[in-house]
Chains A and B, each alone.
Chain A
């Protein structure tokens, strides 16, 4: 049977393409704002959220969304507190996330046994409920991104001028933090908490190697993200490995191929000029 004929794989591909688009798009803004570490920080908060859900009997994706949203607001608040050392806010929230998660995992014992599936991602455990949440939230995030695209671009390039040109920067920062938090929570189901931030950064790293405009960077990032997730899921199915690892390794292969092709192309052009 083909990989696409299994219902659980169809669910995985659908949810995978949605998270590839939202993770890569949000990742582009995060990387260019030099906030790559936000992904790591919030994914560890998501781990605490999952653990809370498992211990209390709430559906883990819901508790993870709430905790990650709270963590993203906390990061924003602490960034204002430590203006000169903004990365401290990430370290503090990450510490809180890991601390709380490890405490709950030890307390929960049998209840938290399934947490590995959230750490490294899982295909077979993607439920109808996960799919419904991912489709609804994914569409909301993509629509919001399209509407706010110009404002986010300009705020990312020059926050002060964006403010002067009438972009509501403070509110936009808050909306952006919320979108990042939801993106991370949705992505952890397939990619896994430990690798969420890789899916947000590696496709971006490949796209900014070759993009000749911001529009191109956005398109390439999405193509590389979707390619990584779909090929990674196929590899995960046939090799019987956790999808998080295969997705991220494929995104790294794409990055290296892009760098190699770019260098090769530059050498040929240089030779022709000389």
Chain B
């Protein structure tokens, strides 16, 4: 099995004549724990959106699992936690089980019901993030940290090989942040899940990330854990 998961070559992206990413090159390998850092407006989230195929590069290529991103279809290999995941309407009448279970859509029977098998899988995912007792709670009634753990359960339930996260801990209290990072560490070390996290706060990345991508002025600087 190839170690290479993401390959970005000569990637440039911009609006009209202003390039915000200029000739970027990097690789992400299996089990990597990558932090993407940079000041506000340094195109960190834009880079993530390009990697997910939500934006198209002006020039250059992006390959995921050896396939060009425009032809990529194995989305179950990818988990994505966007910056605004918790921006849903807090009065949305959905339980934690309904939200996590529905992300197994492609595995459901023809009527797409939450049958016993799906419910068991949901329970396992909620166990992994210590949220079993909130299975029947309305998602809008949970705290920011708890909601983020539910979204983590929704990510891992599809057994992704790589997780992309965009500022996952904005508005989350310190205790929940610690729990969140412990879980991410576990997925990375024990399950071998590759982690790519955009963050403005570099502190949590110390002793965790094996590579840091620093974006500045459209250019990328890559730091390995040994330098």
Contacts and interface: CB of A to CB of B under 8 A. Distances in A.
Interface of A: 32, 34, 146-147, 149-151, 153-154, 157-158, 160-162, 164-167, 207-208, 211-217
Given A150-B108, A164-B80, A158 B93 contact: no
Given A160-B82, A161-B154, A167 B92 contact: no
Contacts of A32: 89, 92-93
B88 interface: yes
Contact of A151 (B112, B136, B138): B112
B95 A166 contact: no
B55 interface: no
A151 B99 contact: no
B106 A214 contact: no
B158 interface: yes
B50 interface: no
Contacts of B94: 153, 157, 213-214
Contacts of B95: 212-214
Given A147-B111, A208-B93, A214-B94, A165 B106 contact: yes
Interface size class of B (residues with CB under 8 A): 20 to 34
Contacts of B88: 157-158
Contacts, number: 73
A215 B102 CA distance: 13
Interface of B: 54, 75-76, 78, 80, 82, 85, 88-89, 91-95, 98-99, 102-106, 108, 111-113, 136, 138, 154, 158
* Chain B interface, >50% SS class: loop
Contact of A149 (B78, B85, B92, B112): B112
B112 A165 contact: no
A265 to B, nearest CB: 16
Given A32-B89, A213-B93, A216-B93, A165 B111 contact: no
Given A158-B85, A211-B93, A212-B95, 20 more contacts: A32-B89, A32-B93, A34-B89, A147-B112, A151-B112, A153-B102, A157-B99, A160-B54, A160-B82, A161-B103, A162-B105, A164-B75, A165-B104, A165-B106, A166-B106, A208-B93, A212-B93, A213-B138, A216-B93, A217-B93
A216 B154 CA distance: 22
In this complex, the member of B76, B99, B102, B104 whose beta carbon has the largest number of chain A beta carbons within 10 angstroms is: B102
A167 B105 contact: yes
22 contacts: A32-B89, A146-B111, A150-B102, A150-B108, A157-B99, A157-B102, A160-B54, A160-B80, A164-B75, A164-B78, A165-B75, A165-B103, A165-B104, A166-B75, A166-B76, A167-B105, A211-B93, A213-B94, A213-B95, A213-B138, A215-B98, A216-B93
